[in-house]
Amino acid sequence: MELNPHIHIGLTDHINFAITRLREGINIVNPFEMEIKTMYPTEYSIAEEAIELIKKE
């Protein structure tokens, strides 16, 4: 699968904000998580792998 070549621009900001929220104990529940997982299974899988890599670091 080919991702948008410009994804790194918004994605790094998104990851940084998510890590900041977690460190501050702010939990945001995405009510559309199941729809996203269903509509974008490849991207969702990549995101799950990225989460594991971030947790290891």
Mean pLDDT rounded to a whole number for the chain: 91
Q: How many angstroms separate the Cα of 33 from the Cα of each of 9, 36, 37, 51?
A: 22, 5, 6, 15
For residue 1, being part of any structural domain is answered with no
For residue 47, being part of any structural domain is answered with yes
For residue 2, being part of any structural domain is answered with no
**pLDDT value of residue 6:** 83
What is the tally of structural domains in the chain? Answer: 1
Q: What residues of the chain score a pLDDT lower than 70?
A: 1
Q: What is the residue range of 43's domain?
A: 7-56
**pLDDT value of residue 8:** 81
Rounded to two decimals, what is the model's pTM? 0.75
For residue 24, being part of any structural domain is answered with yes
**pLDDT value of residue 51:** 93
